[in-house]
Structure 1
Amino acid sequence: MMTRCSSSALVLSATLSLAGLASADVAAVPYDLREGDILFHGTGGQQADAVRGATDSPYTHCGVVLSDKGRLLVLEAVQPVSITTVEEFEKRSKAGTFHARRLKSAPDAAAVEKAKAWGKKQVGLNYDTGFKWGDDKLYCSELVWKVFHEAGVKLCEPRRFHDYKLDHPDVKPLIAQRYGSADKLPKNEPVVAPSDLAESDLLVEVPRVEKK
């Protein structure tokens, strides 16, 4: 999941390769992804609009990169929890929203394998449309948070529903649809949004490497 394979030389090389590129061109340069990286992007639809409104963030979905027989894939909570390709994940991204973050310090190999095994066991589990904190169903950022927690890494403190902008016009209809009314929303329920993970102090941007 989070094995080390980059070095300061690689980061320097990536920086030099990107020097002089216009900002609009940077996104076209691929990330140097590895197992354990977290992928973020913005998607379309009512739920994505509500997440954007509640968090003031372009990120509405996330997944974690896994390695399988030398191929990089993405574990994500959709309906159901699934493993997809990096290419498919990126293809679903709204323009300019696909980003990759990485732990500054990776856990040891045993912790990595424990987390990876737990994550794979969640495949097939239903998506949690109510954003509850239980393990019977999972939503995207909850899955990623718990995978890392299995490795002994707490990416961020879970927040509560009342910490987000619940009065946003894109949020209110989703609350009514999922809970019946705002009064029935469990406002003290632990919750993590994709933006909470993206802003973790434990993460850095994954370097981009221009391929020849």
Structure 2
Amino acid sequence: MANLKRMGLMCILPLLALSAGCQQRTPVALKAPMVKPGDVIFQESMSDLSTAIKFATHSKYSHCGIIFSVNGELYVYEALQPVRYTPLSAWVARGRNGHYVIKRLKNADSVLTTATLDKMMEAGKKYNGKNYDFYFGWSDERIYCSELVWKIYKEATGLELGKLQQLKDFDLNSPAVKKQMQQIYGDKIPLSEQIISPVSMFNSPLLTTVAEQ
């Protein structure tokens, strides 16, 4: 257990450094009606862990969150460290070159009613403040970005955004991936662990792109 804690600390340092550096960026303006509560937003983040995710999934989109309206302002509910609400403009500014893609349920007008959105926010409450899951486990003890969005949608709507895979289904051969795997798991890699990746959600046939920059 002590080794796991040390490995978790090794993995969290690049992400904390990334967050500290990105606070100096100027937030961009991004307002409704382009964006609606319940939308899923994707970006390319810049930590070492995110680089490994990109190599493993063959996609530049390594981080995602779900957009909610809180007191009339737009926020991204995300699993970073810890799980939290981040102002939408600040979230966008934190990604590489401010690039983002926003996706929406194709039948959002009928599914994402006010009652359903309230249910989604309620479903997300139990994760608020939880630690980021660098081990990419499927339990609710810790949680990672795409897992957070997937579980909220599943609980509140019954919909599965993206296909669940096992760790062994990803490309684990690049040096960047091997380095992160060694830091996180050591020699005991849980190849059968169930995982939902950002790119699997990005490619979900249930979603359509509504905004991109």
Identity %: 37
Decide whether the 8 Å contact of 1:58 with 1:97 is kept in 2: no
Q: Does 1:180 align with 2:186?
A: yes
With the length of structure 2 as denominator, give the TM-score of the two structures: 0.79
Give how far 1:165 is off.
0.3
Structure 1: stretches of 5+ with no match in the other structure: 1-27
Residue 47 of structure 2: aligned partner: 45
Structure 2: stretches of 5+ with no match in the other structure: 1-27
Among 58, 61, 64, which residue is 1:59 paired with?
61
With the length of structure 1 as denominator, give the TM-score of the two structures: 0.79
- Counterpart residue identity of residue 185, structure 1: I
More helix by share: 2
What is the CA RMSD across the aligned residues, in angstroms? Answer: 1.8
Among 127, 130, 135, which residue is 1:130 paired with?
135
User: 1:13-32 residue pairs with structure 2 within 5 A?
Assistant: 32=34
Give how far 1:109 is off.
4.3
- Counterpart residue identity of residue 88, structure 1: A
- In 1, Cα distance between the equivalents of 2:30 and 2:115? 29
Residue 87 of structure 1: aligned partner: 89
Give how far 1:156 is off.
1.9
Matched residue count: 179
Decide whether the 8 Å contact of 2:101 with 2:211 is kept in 1: no
Give how far 1:96 is off.
6.5
Q: 1:86 to 1:193 in 2, by over 3 A?
A: same
- In 1, Cα distance between the equivalents of 2:30 and 2:114? 27
Give how far 1:35 is off.
0.1
- In 2, Cα distance between the equivalents of 1:36 and 1:188? 30
User: 1:1-212 residue pairs with structure 2 within 5 A?
Assistant: 32-95=34-97, 97-106=99-108, 107=111, 108-151=113-156, 152-181=158-187, 184-207=188-211
Residue 9 of structure 2: aligned partner: none
* 1:54-103 deviation line (CA, Å, top 9, x unaligned): 01101010000011122111100011101010111101111264111111
Decide whether the 8 Å contact of 1:36 with 1:66 is kept in 2: yes
SS class of match (1:43): coil
More deviation in 134-143 or 104-113?
104-113
SS class of match (2:85): strand
Structure (1 or 2) with the larger CA radius of gyration = 1
Give how far 1:141 is off.
0.5
Q: 1:207 to 1:89 in 2, by over 3 A?
A: closer
